[in-house]
Structure 1
Amino acid sequence: MNGLNTLRTTCLIALLSFGGTGYAADPQGTTLDLDSLQPTREQMIASLNTVELLRRHHYNRIRLDDALSSEIFDTYLRHLDPQRSLFSAADIQGFEGYRYRIDDLLLAGDLSVGFDMHRRQLTRALERVDFIQSLLGEGLDKLDFNSDQTILVDREEAAWPADNNALKQLWRQQLKDEVLRLKLAGRDLDGIAELLDKRYKGQALRLNQTRSEDIFQNYINALAQVYDPHTQYLSPENAENFDINMSLSLEGIGAVLQSDNEFTKIVRLVPAGPAEKSQQLAPADRIIGVGQGTGEIVDVVGWRLDEVVKLIRGPKGSSVRLEVIPASNPPTDLTSREVVLVREAVKLEDQAAKSRVLDFTQQGRDYRIGVIEVPGFYIDFKAYRRGDPDYRSTTRDVRQLLSELQTQKVDGIVLDLRNNGGGSLQEATELTGLFIDRGPTVLVRDSQGQVQILDDPDTGISYGGPLAVMVNRLSASASEIFAGAMQDYGRALIIGEPTFGKGTVQSIQPLNHGELKLTLAKFYRVSGQSTQHRGVIPDISYPSLLETTDIGESSLPRALPWDTIAPAKYRSDRQLAPLLGTLTERHLQRAANDPDFTYTMARIELNREVQAREQLPLNEAKRRQQQKEFEERLLALENQRRQALGETLLTELEKDDPLEGELAAGHEEQESEHDPFLAETGKILIDLLELEQQVAKAS
């Protein structure tokens, strides 16, 4: 991380010898030998190294004691059985003897508890697959879809099934729910039976290919993630290929994924990558199938994340087909669509900042608002290090764009940081310097409590006119540092949604076996407020298109808290603060009469209402009625929007949902009327101009 002194450590314990291979299946991968799943010497040494690094260097400085042992126990259970559908209450009672022993065993390099619990999970998972396959063999027509049974939507906090009979009853209900969801998605019983037969045979095959490395990584991550969600053990294979935030970066399509129970969920789209360019994918979409070129799509429900990644990755220029359940679907709707992407390398110039000018007429006067889209905080380090005077960077590109926009006589400028996941800390600092004369930009506090101040040492600014910064839930890290500085200095209006809230610093520490991604420090704004957990709260808020309980730092378990430290010395311009009330009032008046805004807010509320359901009927007629009512309400909302815009009303829902299009659109070139949030931001900036002129006249 730029501007930080990287902690340098070597392996704390020398590698003594190699253990076994850690594979538990025969060469064909068809029979699981549970007894062969044992920790290797390498893994035991790596666990001791990890324990020592966490104890000595993690930002939290947490003691490994009985209290933490209990947290590790609960975290590991959630890793193994997140929906409480594999273990019985009897299994859990048997595990309880481990609750306060884990700390002592880890300090001794003893991994037996982790392996014992995981072997039981594998046994139960194979039993579940066998039971489901037996039901499939009897025929789906034997399942009763006319009963008054219901199923709990989220079992994360549910009671554990009492015994094996209760488990089988739950598994039967889960199969019925799965069949009903596929029925509502338009599949017939024969097609459903074929799909599920392949799905569960595939799950059995993968379970039988479990390695001791899989168990070790899962167990050590239960330890690492009681410290915070960004501290993570990476196996040698994963350390080579993947990084960042409990998810894996995919070369080729430009997406960041993570596991979401049995599904693979998109967390973020890389700017200018094939996924974003397609405008067919969005954060929180779930990938359920992957195909190569024109080949058959392979069902990947229930697969491990690394296995899904291997299918998606491939050589540049080749195509991959994804079967995706859109995030905009209600939770019970498994209707999917196919997305074809051509794998390619994302070039720096494709991610570069770009500008355009929007024209407005307000109260009889014409205004020109410049827009600079900043998809990431990038820098061509290779060119920079070799002294190339023409190296590319966010700051250099934005400086040039600011000059061009001022030549075009714009009245104000919007910096669009929506979906900007961050990047170079150096660039966040230098970009801040384009808009302030000089001063601190961000504070970094380490685990020892020492605070380092990063600043803009150069006097002078590139643009001193009216400025707005647009952010959303996916604006993270360096974006939050920049937006926070602009807000603290009073230099810009921050408009949009609360940002992601990632305000921690990680460093990769090598182990004898794999690596540990370790949280070492936290970011703070110049005002002393952390960007962690809470993110940057806008001055003027827009409705969130993403469910904040699913996306963002606050959605991650054991995320470090928001807090404050002593502020830096800086000079803030207080002229914006007195105008915020009037600006917000004008915005809300416009939004109340804006068909796109009112539709978006109503659609978000409808989705939340559906997601709040705790039970779902296993009665097909009742389930179809729920689906019909949802679609009728959605159609009514869409027609209400169309009527207000003078458009033709619909008699049935179109395939492409306007809200889904807004989620997936990214920031390709588009007219402002197709992006109501950008257009409204331009109008707010014009309001600011008018208010400032009124204040100047009054003075």
Structure 2
Amino acid sequence: MSLFVTLGRSVALALLLATTPVLAAIEPNDAQRQVSVEVAESLRYGHYADVSLDDGWSQRAFSRYLDILDGQRAYLLDRDVAAFSDLATGMDEALLDGELARPFALYQRYQERTESRLEWLLARLDEGLDFSFDSNQRLELQREDAPWAGQQATLDALWMKRLKNAALTLAINDQDAAQVENTLRQRYEGQLSRLRQTNQEDVFGLFMAAVTGSIDPHSEYLSPRQGESFDIQMRLSLEGIGALLQADGEYVKVSSLVPGGPAERAGDLQPADRIIGVGQEGEAIINVVGMRLDDVVDMIRGPKGSVVRLEVVPAQAVDMTRSRVIEITRDTVELEDQAAQGEVIEIERDDGTHRLGVITIPAFYVDFDAWQAGEEDYRSTTRDVAKEVERLQAEGIEGIVLDLRNNGGGALQEANTLIGLFIDRGPTVQVRDARGRISLYGDTESGTLYDGPLAVLVNRLSASASEIFAGAIQDYGRGLVIGTDTFGKGTVQTLNELSHGEIKLTRAKFYRISGESTQHRGVEPDIRFPSLIDPEMIGESSLDNALPWDTVRKVQYRTYGEPRQYLATLRSRHQERAEQQPNFHYLEQQSALSRKLREQHTSVSLNREQRQREVQAQEAEQLALENERRRALGLAPLEEWEDEPRSAEDGDQEPIDRAQIREAAQILLDYRQLETPLHYAERN
């Protein structure tokens, strides 16, 4: 009998080994070794920063590689990291000489640990889950700075909490025990299947991400597959939803929306939202937590006219249990979708009705093909804005607000020529290259199209060319900048071919004519509006290893006015209105509440009743703020919080977005009256 039992166990073990794929070693190939050397040369001699591939850089790159592989310290043990400590001073040699065996071996160790962990999770599901959820345990959410675990038992305890949390999250979302088990099994089996499909190109891409990401967030290696996707995006012919995505731990986060794209037009997806599931029309949603970013992008991409279903956790949600499903019809982004559009806003005051123009500029665009072909009537931002300015002037407006919110930039030449509509010749931006040489760009045409009161409305998603424009208007004293700090993208990248793939390399930096960089800090507004966008989640300062803010010598330029002398009065008047304006009061209160919740929300309870009490308490605060706003606007209060502010769809005739435009127009009217009191008195 004893022999039978021994043989039985041996047979069982043999069967287990036969059905469990043996993890084959992933080795670098000659093409990747060659590209490694080419990337090293590109970084040393082509990058804007003074890149030294030495031991100091090796330490940063090694840490970056570990963060990419296991940023939450959930798979590797301290002895695993110690076994590869030679890379802390050897990443430079690995890159320079194309000796990639050790970086690949570290990935192999990570993959072994991850595969083992996923099998462990599936085994726990086989044993059955405890759905009582009555413990007093809490799960820490942020483990970036946690020490590496010394024992496997420590990670077992962490993962048991993670498993309980995943099950509790699904249970709170009304899944029964069988559905929870099925969902989790599909999740972990899917992750395991994708992990076992990892190839040498995937591993090389992770290593390259550590190499380039240790220097700045915008330099990156693009594999042939990624390079093809990048080319499609640059041609604006990508058929998808028009959203830029980035990895955020095990989640995929929306970093921005393409102006005029399907997602922006639908209005349901917002920056900093996390996508946790993707499905096609009529099909089940597939959980994408832990999935590679490029795989998620491929699932979202599809033919024009088809529908993709996304399970999304809104950025303002206080808990991952508050997901919702949205549908977006895929489409292409056309030039017409990004065209500038103008309108007239009427403001009632004691002295009568005032008319101010607003021109919304979603992007800095130009029809390059038509321009290069010599066509006289080609489309561009400057040309479209000029037409709107002339039309608004003909309608008797007293000032113009240029709305650059959510404008992520575009053609630099358009930023320069657009500034030229509002100044009479002069420099617009300085560009400094890696050798320290500064090129000066500017408006060379004499005369202005419009010299009246001007304001520029910006937010955290105003980037690159938008920041150049806003900074120049501010430096020239040509108008007011209103809103929030801008994104802070003040660097220039070029795309260069390699023997295998391409490298996007930061080659230069933008500087305002005042000498200040737009990098990292962005443009600070003269009049500040509250924002619901968390600068720690969105913006250049939120990105690892972003190049710093600095200055160069200012250039000579004339000023057109001195808005700063009126700022104290303008801010005081704005604040008086904001306190009486329900939408602005809501923004200020909601912004403060969001900061408080982010600071408090560092762990979650694994006790169902406690978890629900915490979520309900947080949502009660948000609901109270929203209903305070609604009552002030004469709207019916909501019965429960639904994770996002209401819009005009439910009867709100002046939603928050619109309120900012109207208040910017109010501020501009104040400025006009303060700057030209004599002219204003004569007109009336």
TM tier, shorter chain? over 0.9
Distance 1:93 1:355, change over 3 A: same
Q: Is the CA contact 2:237–2:332 (under 8 Å) kept in the aligned structure 1? A: no
- Residue correspondence of structure 1 range 597-616 to structure 2 within 5 A: 597-613=584-600, 614-616=602-604
Matched residues in 1 for 2:22 and 2:549: separation? 46
Match of 1:362 in 2: 349
For 2:36, the aligned partner's letter is S
Matching residue of 1:385: 372
Q: Specify the alignment match of 2:389 in structure 1.
A: 402
Aligned-partner Cα distance in 2 for 1:503–1:630: 37
Partner SS for 2:85: helix
For residue 471 of structure 2, what is the amino acid of its counterpart? G
Find the residue that maps to 2:455 and give its secondary structure.
strand
- Alpha-carbon distance between aligned partners in 2 of 1:418 and 1:251, rounded to the nearest angstrom: 24
Q: Which residue of 1 aligns with 2:198?
A: 210
> Residues of 2 paired with 1:632 and 1:552: CA distance?
29
Quickly say closer, same or farther: Cα 1:354–1:619, change in 2 above 3 A: same
Match of 1:411 in 2: 398
How far did residue 251 of structure 1 move? 3.5
The answer to whether the 8 A contact 1:31-1:208 is kept is: no
Partners of 1:302 and 1:128 in 2: how far apart?
13
User: Which residue, out of 589, 598, 605, partners 1:617?
Assistant: 605
For 1:249 and 1:106, the matched residues in 2 are separated by 35
| Separation in 2, partners of 1:617, 1:225 | 34
2:658 to 672, 675, 693: 675
Q: Please tell me whether the aligned partners of residues 476 and 501 of structure 1 are also in contact (alpha carbons under 8 angstroms).
A: yes
Q: What is the rounded CA distance, in whole Å, between the counterparts of 1:551 and 1:278 in structure 2?
A: 21
Query: Could you say if the C-alpha distance between residues 47 and 31 of structure 1 is closer, same or farther in structure 2, counting changes exceeding 3 Å?
Result: farther
TM score, norm. by length of structure 2:
0.93
Equivalent positions of 1:278-293 (< 5 A) are 278-293=266-281
What is the letter of the counterpart of residue 433 of structure 2?
A: D
Q: Specify the alignment match of 1:685 in structure 2.
A: 668
Equivalent residue for 1:110, pick from 92, 99, 115: 99
- Opposite residue 103 of structure 1, the aligned amino acid is D
2:564 is equivalent to residue 587 of structure 1: no
1:176 has 2:164 as partner: yes
Aligned to 2:620: 632
- CA apart distance, 1:673: 7.5
Identical-pair percentage: 47
What is the CA distance between 1:476 and its match in structure 2?
A: 0.4
Shift of 1:430: 0.4
1:506 aligned residue: 493
1:73-88 aligned at under 5 Å gives the runs: 73-88=62-77
Shift of 1:183: 2.9
Give the 5 Å matches for 1:250-289.
251-289=239-277
One-letter code aligned to 1:678: I
Which residue, out of 5, 21, 37, partners 1:48? 37
Q: Is the 8 A contact 1:472 1:498 kept in 2?
A: yes
* Distance in 2 separating the partners of 1:75 and 1:243: 27
Distance in structure 2 (CA, Å) of the matches to 1:591 and 1:457: 41
- How far off is 1:657 after superposition? 3.0
Q: Using the alignment, how far apart are the partners of 1:507 and 1:576 within structure 2? A: 37
Contact 1:502 1:553 in 2 (8 A): yes
Residue of structure 1 equivalent to 2:227: 239
Change beyond 3 A, Cα 1:355–1:671: farther
Query: How many Å apart are 1:696 and its aligned residue?
Result: 6.0
**Closer, same or farther in 2 for the Cα pair 1:250/1:93, shift >3 Å?**
farther
- Deviation string 1:38-94 (CA, Å, 9 cap, x unpaired) is 000000000000001101111112211111111111000000001111111222222
Root-mean-square deviation (CA), in Å?
2.3
What is the distance in 2 between the residues matched to 1:223 and 1:673?
A: 42
In structure 2, the CA distance between the partners of 1:697 and 1:133, relative to structure 1 (3 Å rule), is closer
For 2:544, the equivalent position in structure 1 comes to 557
Q: Over residues 322-377 of structure 1, what are the superposed CA-to-partner deviations in whole Å (9 max), with x where a residue is unaligned?
A: 221211211x2332222222221111111100111111102242111111000000
Structure 2 unaligned spans of 5+: 1-18
Counterpart among 324, 332, 336 of residue 312 in structure 2: 324
2:523 matched to 1:536? yes
1:429 to 411, 416, 420: 416
Residue 133 in structure 1 maps to residue 116 in structure 2: no
Conservation of the 8 A alpha-carbon contact between 1:32 and 1:209:
no
Deviation string for 1:156-213 (max 9, x for gaps)? 1112222111111111111112222223333333322221111111001000100011
Q: State which of 195, 205, 216 in structure 2 corresponds to 1:228.
A: 216
- Following superposition, the deviation at residue 220 of structure 1 comes to 1.5
Change (3 A) 1:672 1:569: farther
2:280–2:309: 8 Å Cα contact kept in structure 1? yes
Contact persistence 2:239–2:304 (CA under 8 A): no
Q: Is the 8 A contact 2:240 2:303 kept in 1?
A: yes
Q: Counterpart of 2:178? A: 190
Change (3 A) 1:479 1:343: same
Pairwise mapping of residues 19-30 of structure 1 onto structure 2 (< 5 A)?
none
Kept in 1, the 8 Å contact 2:232–2:238? The answer is no
Partner of 1:21: none
Corresponding residue for residue 15 of structure 2: none
Q: 1-side partners of 2:559 and 2:655: how far apart?
A: 32
Q: Equivalent of 1:522, from 493, 504, 509?
A: 509
Moved more, 584-593 or 481-490: 584-593
Q: Trace 1:135-174 onto structure 2 (pairs within 5 A).
A: 135-140=124-129, 142=130, 145-174=133-162
Q: Tell me, yes or no, if the aligned pair for 1:184 and 1:333 is still in contact at 8 Å.
A: no
- How far apart are 1:416 and its partner, in Å? 0.3
Question: Which residue in the other structure is 1:444 paired with?
Answer: 431
Match of 2:94, SS? helix
- The answer to whether the Cα contact below 8 Å between 1:290 and 1:323 also exists between their aligned partners in 2 is yes
Measure the CA separation in 2 of the matches of 1:674 and 1:415: 14
- Letter paired with 2:528: S
Q: Using the alignment, how far apart are the partners of 1:163 and 1:336 within structure 2? A: 35
Letter in 1 for 2:277: G
Gaps of 5+ in 1: 1-29
Give the whole-Å Cα distance in 2 for the aligned partners of 1:676 and 1:84: 44
After alignment, is 552-561 or 172-181 more displaced? Answer: 172-181
Q: Does the residue aligned with 1:100 lie in a helix, a strand or coil?
A: helix
- Match of 1:214, as an amino acid? D
Deviations along 1:476-505, one digit per CA (max 9) or x if unpaired, are 000001011000001110000100000000
User: 1:90, 1:163 within 8 Å by CA — same for their partners in 2?
Assistant: no
User: Which of 611, 636, 644 in structure 1 is aligned with 2:632?
Assistant: 644
1:467–1:186 Cα change, 3 Å: farther
**What are the superposed Cα offsets for residues 500-546 of structure 1, whole Å, 9 maximum, x if unpaired?**
00000001111111111110000000111000000000000111121
Deviation at residue 695 of structure 1 after TM alignment = 6.5
Q: How many Å separate the matches in 2 of 1:607 and 1:183?
A: 26
The 1:673–1:201 alpha-carbon spacing in structure 2 relative to 1, beyond 3 Å, is: closer
Choose 210-219 or 154-163, whichever is displaced more.
154-163
Equivalent residue for 1:123? 112
Whole-Å Cα distance in 2 between the matches of residues 249 and 199 of structure 1? 32
Specify the SS of the correspondent of 1:475. coil
Q: Identify which range, 294-303 or 477-486, moves more after superposition.
A: 294-303
Q: Tell me if the contact between 1:249 and 1:256 (Cα under 8 Å) persists in the aligned partners.
A: no
Q: Identify if the C-alpha distance between structure 1 residues 611 and 671 changes in structure 2 by more than 3 Å, giving closer, same or farther.
A: closer
Q: CA deviation at 1:312?
A: 1.2
Report the secondary structure of 1:356's partner residue: strand
SS of 2:43 mapped into structure 1: helix
Cα gap change, 1:678 to 1:498, in 2 (>3 Å) = same
In 1, the alpha carbon distance for the partners of 2:607 and 2:281 equals 39
- The answer (yes or no) to whether the contact 2:317–2:643 under 8 Å persists in 1 is no
Task: Report the CA distance between 1:143 and its aligned residue.
Answer: 5.5
